[in-house]
Amino acid sequence: MKKVLFATTALVATAGVAAADVTFGGYGRFGVIYRDTAAGDSTDVTSRFRLQIDATAESDAGVTFGARARIQQNNTDDRIGGNVTRGDGADAAAFTADDTFTVDGAGPAGTGINGVRFFARSGGFEVGVGNIFGALEFMPGQYPIDLGLTGLGYDYTAYNFRGDAYSSGGNGAAGQNGVEVLYSMGDFSAHISASDTNDRVAAYVAYTFSGFTFALGGQDSNDASDTEFTASVGGSVGPADVTLAFADNGTGGDQVVLAARFDVGAATNVELYVADRTDATDGSVNDTGYGIDFNHDLGGGTSIRGGVAELISGETRADLGVRFNF
């Protein structure tokens, strides 16, 4: 992470601000990805560049105000600057807040600033609005590993993205009245979030005891396919970091995930998972998925990563490439 500290008077024209800080960071990744689906198989180049901007200022009373934005480009994204049309084909000038859009008819656009998350923080208490993190997305145990170079389908995320989440390439809940409150004190943490998307209200509580983190989360929504309840426990068992997570994803079925990470050398670790989905009635597949990867640290924030996964959907994915953090 790179930091640029600006003088207060250069940023703010009013008195009474103690300090301002702008941090730039992110990562780049590139490599190859293989997919084998019912429609056929393919091997393609995959890449992503992400630049994250975090800006904060602290009041004389010690309250930190800030914002987070990202600029991200995947090799599969269209560039801003094409012929923008509304989802129904109308001219872009007729956009409303609820419209979707395409660029040259090809899909979502990249290389733009995403929806911004704004926040105010004091001690262990934080209020966020806009492109919120989302309580279920932010809950401990939902991302126990980071498989391969690209995530390889993220079947190891038990809540299955059926709730509000921070969007790196879009608005997230920024246009849907997203708001959240986070609190932490010692080994205890709690998070509640809400948005107009499906009238969602979600929350989790978590506590760390004897090296294990226990978390419980729930959500109220007017969409039967949204997550209703989720729980996780994670900690070290011998040489491995192990996480067990469960989610009742409404009509999307119940999903159970067991994931582990362990070192196999001074610079190399291996991650693996097994995920099982049952009782889905919304067209989701009731099946078992699994995957394994390796991450080799090259130093200086660079690494070689690769993995393979058999997804619950029946698709096989594998990837290999390089990631560099900055």
Interatomic CA distance for residues 89 and 105, integer angstroms? 9
Question: How confident is the model at residue 121, as a pLDDT?
Answer: 98
Residue 112: per-residue pLDDT = 79
- Does 121 fall in a domain? yes
Alpha-carbon dihedral 165, 169, 170, 173, rounded to 10 degrees: 20
Dihedrals phi, psi of 294, to nearest 5 degrees: -140, 150
pLDDT for the residue numbered 76: 87
In a domain, 102, yes or no: no
pLDDT at residue 17, as a whole number = 46
Query: What's the rounded Cα separation, in Å, for the pair 216 and 214?
Result: 7
Domain that holds residue 68: 2-76+114-325
- Percent of the chain whose predicted confidence (pLDDT) is above 90: 82
**Is 247 part of any domain?**
yes
In a domain, 304, yes or no: yes
pLDDT of residue 45: 97
pLDDT 10s digits, 38-58: 999 999 999 999 999 999 999
**Domain annotation covers residue 303:** yes
> What are the pLDDT digits (tens) for 275-303?
999 999 999 999 999 999 999 999 999 99
Q: Does a structural domain hold residue 194?
A: yes
Residue 19 pLDDT more than 70?
no
Q: Which of 277, 274, 273, 250 is nearest to 262 (CA)?
A: 273
Q: What is the pLDDT of residue 185?
A: 97
Q: What is the pLDDT of residues 127-156, one digit of tens each?
A: 999 999 999 999 999 999 999 999 999 999
Read off the pLDDT of residues 55-107 as tens digits, 9 standing for 90 and up. 999 999 999 999 999 999 999 887 554 443 333 333 333 333 344 434 444 44
pLDDT at 43 (0 to 100): 98
Counted domains in the chain: 1
User: What is the distance between the alpha carbons of residues 312 and 144, in angstroms, rounded to a whole number?
Assistant: 18
pLDDT tens, position by position, 214-257: 999 999 999 999 999 999 999 999 999 999 999 999 999 999 99
Q: For the residues 14-34, what does the mean pLDDT come to?
A: 83
pLDDT at position 12, please?
39
CA distance 306 to 319: 5
CATH of the domain at 294: 2.40.160.10
Q: How many CB atoms lie within 10 A of CB 172?
A: 25
Residue 100 lies in a domain: no
Q: What is the mean pLDDT of residues 106-124?
A: 82
What's the chain's length in residues? 326
**Over residues 205-210, mean pLDDT:** 97
Return the pLDDT at 1. 52
Q: Taking residues 300-313, report their average pLDDT.
A: 98
Dihedral sign from CA coordinates of 124, 126, 131, 135: positive
In a domain, residue 92? The reply is: no
